[in-house]
Amino acid sequence: MAPHKIVLRFTSSTSDQPIIYHLVKDYDLVVNILKAQINPHLEGTLVLDLRGEKYEEGIEYLRNQGISVHPLTQEVVRNNDRCTSCGACTGHCPAGALAMERPSMEVQFDSDKCVVCLQCLKVCPVGAMEVRI
Ligand code: SF4
Ligand code: SF4
């Protein structure tokens, strides 16, 4: 069975649950963690490759725990022609994918770190961050 790439989003009340343990032990799923991030308020995002016969049951288990589950069908890209390196996005990126480089003071975007949380799209004043489906 082909792996499913999914994004899990946790609130502070759900981030301490041993979900990987249960997905493997109770649902016999193969789990590959592609990206993980948690902020100081214990809210987090996990990007997984998940495969196995009991995939649907595993997803239902996650949702029953109050975890939001979405397929990873999109990626975030930056339109470098629009970006003014204002820095507004850097404090909102939970994964450290957007960071001010010194001493040039240019904002760098590392797409490998991006967990597709979409926060930067909300705060960029010039719409430089875009979703590619
Ligand atoms: S979507 Fe934007 S804010 Fe979220 S991780 Fe990616 S670059 Fe950072
Ligand atoms: S908020 Fe927008 S314009 Fe400002 S640094 Fe980030 S991507 Fe560039």
Asked whether 47 lines ligand 1 (CB < 6 A), one says no
- Contacts of residue 120, defined as CB under 8 A and 6 or more positions apart, other chains included, come to 76, 89, 92, 93, 98, 129
Tokens of 79: 């339109």
pLDDT score for 11: 85
81 confidence band (pLDDT: 50, 70, 90): very high
For the CA of 127, the closest atom of ligand 2 is 2
What does the mean pLDDT of the chain come to? 90
Top mutation candidate among 47, 83, 98, 123 for ligand 1, by most atoms within 8 Å of CB: 98
Domains of the chain are 4-71 (3.30.70.260), 75-132 (3.30.70.20)
Q: Which comes out higher in pLDDT, residue 127 or 73?
A: 127
pTM: 0.70
Distance between Cα 85 and ligand 2 center (Å): 5
pLDDT score for 1: 65
**Pairing assessment for the beta strands 4-10 and 68-71 based on DSSP bridges:** antiparallel
Quick: pLDDT tens for 16-62: 789 999 999 999 999 999 888 877 777 888 889 999 999 999 999 99
- Backbone phi and psi for residue 115, each to the nearest 5 degrees, phi listed first: -110, 20
Give which of 5, 1, 127 is closest to 74, Cα–Cα: 5
Q: Tell me which amino acid residue 48 is.
A: L
Does 2 have pLDDT greater than 70? Answer: no
Counting residues of the chain whose pLDDT is more than 90, the rounded percentage is 63
Does 106 have pLDDT greater than 70? Answer: yes
